[in-house]
Amino acid sequence: MKSAADFLKAHAIVIVVALVVGLVAGIPLGWATVRVVNTTPAVMRADLQEDYLRMAVDSFRVNRDINLAVRRWDDLGAAAAPMFVKIQQDPKGMDPAVIVAYGQVIETVKGSSSSGTDKGPAAGAFSSRSLLLVAAIVVLLLVAGAILRFLMRRPGRRPSSSKPAAAVVPSRAAQVRVGAPKTDFESLGVAPPITQNMTTYVLGDDLYDESFSIDTASGDFLGEYGVGVSETIGVGEPKKVTALEIWLFDKNDIKTATKVLMSAHAHGDAGIRARLEAKGELIEIEPQRQIMLETETVQLLATVVDLQYGDGAMPEKSYFERVTLELAIWRKADHG
């Protein structure tokens, strides 16, 4: 008479296949009965979520209600951050200054983790059920895997050696930053800046958007500044960036200062210039060029440390392969 172990060994594949088929067929069938009601825009289609966030930004332009702005951001859940990036890249007639101001409010209230905002009570319950479902699937798969390994094991068989883990290679942007030292302003007879950072865009970083906080030595928050993609050119992947946008937000100034760094080709293209004029002063990017932005109490000096154009099948000097900027912030003398 065969033992249970012999039976399991003889039918190991059948048992594992039956488990997998049961999971694949049973989970969708059970989940199909779930109905979500009285929830938030976090479960809407992407196009409707985009419309909702655009209306939230436009509403903030009129009422300046910070609590309402943050609540509407939270209603979108995890979709809010990528959707906001999409709106920044394609305003569709919206005032870029209002978009930036809305983003700064969210960043100030929710901090750097704003992309992981709460999803609201209904969405939270839905998420909890999802986590339980995933946990159950993982446990079942682990049990099935353990059974299969046990049954398929043979005496004298040694496990194959695993391949060594691949070495961690720094990103191209990180490598560029290492080779671009910050300016020693004190040696030039200039007071040291409140904050000083290097930022690098590299072709392929389609969501490039860096921001930095402005804080005094005593911990007082003065505002924020940063750089992001302003305009692309051509089609296909990766996106070919032809203009970058530098912005400076001052908590004591209702208007955000913005300037656009354009490629040589974009700067000479009347159509592109017309699209970007509403964003701020248009400046042709050049190596070592310095750009000054000023608000009520602070000023930003941006220096083009490194510039390299792409050489693909596009007009000459039309998109960036790499751009490194040094951003330094000073408090204005009459507000020091």
Q: Which of 86, 30, 128, 62 is nearest to 229 (CA)?
A: 86
CA dist 92 and 104 (Å) reads 20
| DSSP H helical ranges for 153-294 | 172-178, 264-267, 270-276
* Tens-place pLDDT, residues 223-239: 999 999 999 999 888 99
pLDDT the model gives residue 163: 40
Q: Is the peptide bond before 238 cis (omega within 30 degrees of 0)?
A: yes
**Average of per-residue pLDDT across 126-138:** 66
**Average of per-residue pLDDT across 245-269:** 94
Predicted model pTM: 0.49
Helix axes 80-89, 96-110, angle to 10 degrees: 150
H/E stretch holding 321: strand 320-331
CA dist 74 and 117 (Å) reads 6
**Average of per-residue pLDDT across 281-289:** 95
Question: Lowest mean pLDDT: which of 19-33, 54-68, 235-249, 276-290?
Answer: 19-33
Higher-pLDDT residue of 252 and 133 is 252
Residue 250 pLDDT greater than 60, yes or no: yes
* Tens-place pLDDT, residues 26-77: 766 666 555 656 667 777 788 888 888 888 888 888 888 888 888 888 888 8
Query: In the chain, what are the helix, strand and coil shares in percent, each to the nearest 5?
Result: 45, 25, 30
pLDDT the model gives residue 316: 93
Between the alpha carbon of residue 92 and those of residues 87, 96, 210, 253, the distances in Å are 8, 10, 22, 25
DSSP state of 194: S
CA dist 147 and 168 (Å) reads 34
CA dist 238 and 170 (Å) reads 20
**Average of per-residue pLDDT across 171-197:** 75
Q: Which of 73, 148, 140, 59 is nearest to 108 (CA)?
A: 73
Q: Which of 229, 261, 250, 334 is nearest to 300 (CA)?
A: 250
pLDDT the model gives residue 264: 95
| Percentage above 90 pLDDT, the chain | 37
CA dist 335 and 333 (Å) reads 5
Encoded tokens for 36: 């979500």
pLDDT the model gives residue 65: 85
CA dist 255 and 240 (Å) reads 29
Q: Which of 16, 247, 260, 239 is nearest to 142 (CA)?
A: 16
